[in-house]
Amino acid sequence: MPDPAREPVLAASAELPATQLAANAGASARGNVAAGRPGTDQFDFDVIVVGAGLSGIGVACHLQRDCPRKSFIILEARGAVGGTWDLFRYPGVRSDSDMHTLGYRFRPWRGEKAIADGPSILEYLNDTARDHGIDGKIRFHHTLKRASWSSSDARWTLDVLGPDGTTVIYTCNFLQMCSGYYDYDAGYMPGWPGMEHFNGAIVHPHKWPKDLDYAGKRIVVIGSGATAVTLVPAMSDKAAHVTMLQRSPTYILARPARDAIADWCYAKLPEGLAHALARWKSIFLQTYFYSVARRRPEAAKQRIIELAQAELGPGIDVRHFTPRYNPWDQRLCLVPDGDLFKAIRAGKASVVTGEIDTFTESGLKLGSGEELAADIVVTATGLVMKLLGGIQLVVDGRTVNPGTTLTYKGMMFSDVPNLASTFGYTNASWTLKADLTSEYLCRILNRMDRGRYAYCTPRNNDPSMVPDATLPLSSGYMQRAKDILPKQGSKRPWRLYQNYAKDMLALRFGSIDDGTLVFTRHAAVPARRQA
């Protein structure tokens, strides 16, 4: 694994275009490119992947297998593999979908639980990177700030903030963004009156203190999403009491932490077959229940509420688990083995629905006049979406706002050459779409090699195409980000279906020469480099 503290160097290479060598020389002269051990670093690649989380490690494994002649690296802003699963350290952090689909298609999940804890997922990612030799291709503490495409050079020039705070210039032919969809630096914090008067601790899950002692404390968790429903039961074992304070209810479903069918498959069948069956079983059930919920929302709503009431038992008001919206207008929350409901039944936790009027010295006062005493307030109030890591994106001297583009097959942007971005499903496991995106990327790269094309660009030439919101979710974090997200179109291949089977047909088996992805030859196509 590379040393995160090492200083990157610029090694002059015959493989670098003349314009890049000049840019590097000029940068060195200005003193903003770090110098180091000669010959230890390469700065020009066929593909650069940004982000060493679940998506980035997956892309790298696919590149290594399906495009073995391509040189590539991963630029990672943080100091470790894992992305989300390394960042979040709050109590109980876990997957919100089953690991047979959140895990990779090419690497079976063999953990004990299908709904797995964060440390187990992080171990799975590190094992994958190590076993596939990807860990040696990661450059840690490298933050992409600006990506500029030149059609005349058929290359991206990347301004990257290096480990010592200086700017390092990288170039590549294809840029694959796997930086996730939210801001790693801070979560969403709406703010309330009187917070400065509160005598206790206010904590956001995004920045969980390592030394927070909540044993015997009264805790209020503000929020009702996946983070809140994870925190409440996890903290209830040590806390005096945990209250989940929600502005409005969320659909919550109990699900076994272990997958009995998958366990049987792995016990009785060869691993490859067991993995395929367990994965497809989960895909089918996810697709079926989502489809039923969207076709018959009222029936699905009543059934989910009935299941919640059965878990809660008599005497607990199910109105706290009865949302105003239909199922899948926002994401459903899964609770493994009904742990949230168990904590409520045992009296260790409770749910209150209401608006915050103000913080007080000893807790919170609601609009209804009710007061909640608290020693610690956890603000599980959501994420701040940040597309492409917030980089400045420039194409032939023109700054591009992704929010004004159309998304091609959920992975590329209209009129932006040789750039793809991984964005997973909202109604199923993220990795299902991430795997398909990786496969399609490799198909594109191999198609360009066969035809000696320098770049490809999604072009919308249909004047009847109607742009629409990217994702049909009413969640607050989606609504706050509607101006920065690319739009989907009214027709293929610009339409998002949130359906694995349809995407598999389009990305794994569909034609690349679809008339929309335009391939361009270049006068001096860069020679293919050995990885």
Domain range list for the chain = 18-184+385-448+455-520, 195-379
Structure tokens at 483: 């101006």
d(CA 49, CA 389): 12
d(CA 491, CA 413): 15
- With vertex at residue 514, the alpha carbon angle to CA 524 and CA 519, rounded to the nearest 5 degrees, is 10
State the pairing for strand pair 398-399/392-395: antiparallel
Task: Name the β-bridge partners of 435.
Answer: none
Structure tokens at 89: 């350290």
Amino acid at the residue 252: I
Q: What is the dihedral of CA 191, 194, 195, 196, to 10 degrees?
A: 130
Task: Name the β-bridge partners of 285.
Answer: none
Q: How crowded is the C-beta side of 479, counted as CA atoms within 13 Å?
A: 7
Which of the listed CATH numbers 3.50.50.60, 3.40.50.9100, 3.30.70.1350, 3.40.50.970 matches domain 195-379? Answer: 3.50.50.60
Answer whether 396's CB lies under 8 Å from 520's CB.
no
Residue 392, number of CB atoms within 10 A of its CB: 13
Helices (H), 194-269: 226-236, 260-268
Amino acid at the residue 37: R
Task: Name the β-bridge partners of 374.
Answer: none
Q: What is the pLDDT along the chain (531 residues), one digit of tens a residue?
A: 333 332 222 222 333 333 333 333 333 322 333 322 223 467 999 999 999 999 999 999 999 999 999 999 999 999 999 999 999 999 999 998 899 999 999 999 999 899 999 999 999 999 999 999 999 999 999 999 999 999 999 999 999 999 999 999 999 999 999 998 888 888 888 889 999 999 999 999 999 998 999 999 999 999 999 999 999 999 999 999 999 999 999 999 999 999 999 999 999 999 999 999 999 999 999 889 988 998 999 999 999 999 999 999 888 889 999 998 898 888 889 999 999 999 999 999 999 999 999 999 999 999 999 999 999 999 999 888 888 888 999 999 999 998 889 999 999 999 999 999 998 888 788 999 999 999 999 999 999 999 999 999 999 988 887 777 666 555 565 666 667 788 888 888 998 888 898 999 999 998 999 989 999 997 654 444 444
**What integer pLDDT is reported at residue 491 of this predicted model?**
84
Phi first, then psi: what are they for 388, rounded to 5°? Answer: 55, 30
**DSSP summary character for residue 47:** E
Q: Which of 87, 15, 61 is nearest to 435 (CA)?
A: 61
Structure pTM?
A: 0.86
Rg (CA), the chain: 24
Helix 297-312 crosses helix 271-295 at what angle (to 10 degrees)?
A: 110
Q: Do 18-184+385-448+455-520 and 195-379 agree at the fold level?
A: yes
What is the helix (H) or strand (E) element at residue 455, kind and residue range? strand 455-458
**What integer pLDDT is reported at residue 469 of this predicted model?**
66
d(CA 74, CA 56): 7
**What integer pLDDT is reported at residue 473 of this predicted model?**
53
Check whether domain 18-184+385-448+455-520 has CATH 3.40.50.1860, yes or no: no
Q: Residues near 94 by Cβ (< 8 Å), separated by ≥ 6?
A: 115, 116, 117, 118, 230, 336
Q: In what order do the strands lie in the sheet with 356-360?
A: 356-360, 363-366, 371-373
d(CA 295, CA 290): 9
**What integer pLDDT is reported at residue 263 of this predicted model?**
94
Burial of 518 (0-12, 13-18, 19+ CB in 10 A): middle
**What integer pLDDT is reported at residue 474 of this predicted model?**
52
Q: Residues near 418 by Cβ (< 8 Å), separated by ≥ 6?
A: 149, 154, 156, 173, 174, 175, 455, 456, 457
Residue 265, number of CB atoms within 10 A of its CB: 21
Q: Residues near 473 by Cβ (< 8 Å), separated by ≥ 6?
A: 329, 330, 331, 426
